[in-house]
Structure 1
Amino acid sequence: MHTWFQARASVVAATIYLHWTAHGYDWIRPGHYHRIIGGDGRVHRLHALTADLPAHTWRRNSNSIALACACMGGQPDPWTLPPTAAQLLSLCQEVAAIARSWGWTAADITIQSVMAHAEAASNRDGRWMHDNYGPVIWGGTGERWDLLQLEQYGPSDGGEQLRQRIAALLNGDELAPPASDRLAFRGVTSIEARGQELSVQIDADGRSWALMVDLLQRYDLAAQWDGDQRRVLIAASDVAPTYRDNAVQAAVGWPLVEMALQGGQAPVILTGILRPSSEGDRAWCRVLEFAEEFGISVSFEPLVLGERRGG
């Protein structure tokens, strides 16, 4: 694990790069960016933030993370699919949440720590990492101009606008929804999982949630808790994440927890929540989502989890 994620240093070491995908609003693919925000503003968490992805920002992929809005894929005019207001809001909220989890404050949100790809391509942070392949107005070749503008014919300071929004979020309490808006558990019950009783909580929409540790132990899945990153690392070679559209979002109001595969690009299997208890903070996930991601046989009425069969 990279040491620059473990504690806040006096100098920001990690860089967050902001992109657009140059595809449609529903283009969600792993391997390119750590997060992709769909046209509806939904955040798709694809890779653990400690994974170095090889191809998001030329010669700047190490010690960095990348977030992208799925947009600007119109042909021949990319502006027929511009960044939506929902995307830009979610992008700023996600960056602010990451920054806060690293111990950053609004003062840390500078062009050295958070950059639009247009700015990075033109070395606007003062680090000469490569030739200038950014916007022509900055002396570049025009090959990359992600988020130079946030709207068609808008000012060419998109990166600075985004940094101001992110800093404003860190200065306020917008990232902490009122307790009344948080996902609530309405009651406790039990289901059968692998032939034994498993305690679960039911939310307001009737979905079952279980402690991650209970599910992992029930299915003999080796796991490692990374408290610094609020994630659970799974040592399994027979899991292929589905990157579902209905993954848990920050709107649930609780801190999010990622379950990711250990090693490589650390793809995210699912996202859960962290809730306080008398025994300390506990990580929960949706039972059916866990079963589907790990290839567990499921039957309904009542909900019963069988064995891991894969596929």
Structure 2
Amino acid sequence: MSEVLPRSAMVKVTLSDLKKKATAVYWSIWNQARSVGRDVKLYLHWTAGRYGQFWDDYHIQIDKAGDIYMPAGVNLDDILYGTWHRNTGSIAITLLGCFDATPNGLGSEPPTAAQIETMSQVVCVLANAFDLTIDKARVMTHGEAGDNEDGVWCHEPYGPKSTVERWDLEFLGTPESPVYDPYGKKGYRRGGDVIRGKANWYRKAGIKGVYDPR
């Protein structure tokens, strides 16, 4: 069961910190992933809690203003419990908020622009550190993972294209991803596509003070 953590149990980190932490566990997390026949994966979540409310099952947690936190004592190769049957060799990255989100609207604490940009930068930094292509095979929302959209059948589907038990970041409330549209029938982009697109943009453009463009 997920447990709420007090602010005192969290450590604020920077993108540069994450780069160093990823480098330190490179072989450890790759060995974990290989042990289950997969590449390292980055899973993108929202907590379905409040802004400023931290949890124990995510490695990286991004608050309303885009600040980044990790639970004290947690390393990026620790196996946490954010993504059903997919936690070995993976990192759980989450936005804080969306406690009252439904497929009809993101509620009173939706993803903020700062959170979306920071999550995209975090994906870029970690993908570079772990030598990952930024695509759906390696970077997925919890909703996409729930429906096994990477082609890896880890469990029965439970995402937005099936039971809708988990649909984290299926849409972002932004102009390019304004509504719940998992099959693209309304012509909008899914949240995972937006975040991967932004992360690939940062990969090409670089992030000042963190790494140079590729």
Give TM-score, length-normalised by structure 1. Answer: 0.50
For structure 2, the residue ranges without an aligned partner over 5 or more in a row are: 1-24, 32-36, 183-189
Shift, 1:153, TM fit: 2.1
The match for 2:154 is 129
Aligned-partner SS, 2:54: coil
The match for 2:66 is 41
State which of 160, 181, 203 in structure 2 corresponds to 1:170.
203
Written as runs of structure 1 = structure 2, the 5 A alignment for 1:68-79 is 68-74=94-100, 78-79=106-107
Shift, 1:176, TM fit: 2.2
What is the CA–CA distance in structure 1 between the aligned matches of 2:26 and 2:123, rounded to whole Å? 19
Structure in which a larger fraction of residues adopt helix: 2
Pairing 1:87–2:115 present = yes
Q: How many correspondences in the alignment? A: 167
Pairing 1:111–2:136 present = yes
For the aligned residue pairs, the C-alpha RMSD in angstroms reads 2.5
What is the CA–CA distance in structure 1 between the aligned matches of 2:180 and 2:155, rounded to whole Å? 27
User: Structure 1 pair 75/57, CA: closer, same or farther in 2 (3 Å)?
Assistant: closer
Letter in 1 for 2:97: C
User: Structure 1 pair 128/83, CA: closer, same or farther in 2 (3 Å)?
Assistant: same
Contact 1:4/1:13, CA 8 A, preserved across alignment: no
Contact 1:35/1:68, CA 8 A, preserved across alignment: yes
Contact 1:19/1:69, CA 8 A, preserved across alignment: yes
Letter in 1 for 2:86: R
Letter in 1 for 2:198: R
Pairing 1:120–2:145 present = yes
Q: Which protein shows a greater Rg?
A: 1
Higher relative contact order (CA 8 A, sep 6+): 2
Contact 2:26/2:130, CA 8 A, preserved across alignment: no
Letter in 1 for 2:149: R
Written as runs of structure 1 = structure 2, the 5 A alignment for 1:243-258 is none
Shift, 1:26, TM fit: 0.7
Identity fraction in percent: 32
Contact 1:38/1:69, CA 8 A, preserved across alignment: yes
User: Structure 1 pair 154/121, CA: closer, same or farther in 2 (3 Å)?
Assistant: closer
Shift, 1:99, TM fit: 1.6
What is the CA–CA distance in structure 2 between the aligned matches of 1:52 and 1:95, rounded to whole Å? 18
Letter in 2 for 1:44: Y
The match for 2:57 is 32
Contact 1:12/1:113, CA 8 A, preserved across alignment: no
Shift, 1:40, TM fit: 1.0
The match for 1:56 is 82
For structure 1, the residue ranges without an aligned partner over 5 or more in a row are: 178-252, 255-311
Shift, 1:21, TM fit: 0.2
